[in-house]
Amino acid sequence: MTPDLPSTPPRCYALVPCAGVGERAGAGGPKQYREIAGRSVVAHTLDALARVPRLSATLVILAPDDRQFETHAPASTAWVARVGGQSRAASVANGLGVLVERGAGDDDWVLVHDAARCLLRPEDVLRLIAACEHDAVGGLLALPVADTLKREAAGERVAATVDRRGLWQAQTPQMFRLGLLRRALAAAGDGVTDEASAIEALGHAPRLVPGALENFKLTWPADFALAERLLRTRA
């Protein structure tokens, strides 16, 4: 099942949910504001998006009481809206409403990207756009699963080995049309953990676009040290 193609060329917007607290990261505060390689995590993320010429604008969604963003991303030219919700899905849904208020249309593309994926490369975003801009549904960056997968039983024991054939690890950005994504999130509710899941629940099949291994999400304490090394190597 695929929706109708738009009749006019759409624009591309990035939307960065940045309202989380990052409890698993052990950062003593929101992980997006932790400093690595001389700048905050979110500053690195927004810098990568700012170097994507196909993006008309980037919108950052903050918690209503966030007073730290401007301190940790002083050079950012992104739009900011303090409309974050209790879940990622709610924050993204609220952000889509802000884009509409700022003139975005239902057929425009929205690339939702995790603030904590600070090793994103502009060329990967451009590859995603090229792969999806003429697609009827949209898609996401992802990686085929390479490791053997184990399902856990009680007591941290292996219950079974999971067949990895055909399995992919979802990344971001995830690129979908604004109108379709709004409908999908409204129908799916707060339980979905990424935008593609909401699109799938409507019966659509997002395109899988191979991403980069280094575009990982900073989640655990050790991830920050690895990201620091990679960013300094780039510099």
Q: How far apart are CA 58 and CA 43, in angstroms?
A: 13
Residue 32: what are its φ and ψ, rounded to 5°? -70, -15
Instruction: Quote the pLDDT of residue 5.
Output: 55
Instruction: Quote the pLDDT of residue 55.
Output: 98
Confidence (pTM): 0.92
Instruction: Quote the pLDDT of residue 20.
Output: 77
CATH architecture of 12-138+170-234: Alpha-Beta Complex (3.90)
Tell me the two tokens of residue 217. 């999400």
Our CA angle for 85, 89, 90, nearest 5°, is: 30
What residues pair up with 179 in beta bridges, in sequence order?
A: none
User: Closest by alpha carbon to 145, among 160, 120, 163?
Assistant: 163
Q: How far apart are CA 134 and CA 137, in angstroms?
A: 9
Domain positions in the chain are 12-138+170-234
Residue pLDDT tens, the chain, 235 long: 566 555 568 999 999 999 976 544 445 679 999 999 999 999 999 999 999 999 999 999 999 999 999 999 999 999 999 999 999 999 999 999 999 999 999 999 999 999 999 999 999 999 999 999 999 999 999 999 999 999 999 888 999 999 999 999 999 999 999 999 999 999 999 989 999 999 999 999 999 999 999 999 999 999 999 999 999 998 6
Instruction: Quote the pLDDT of residue 2.
Output: 61
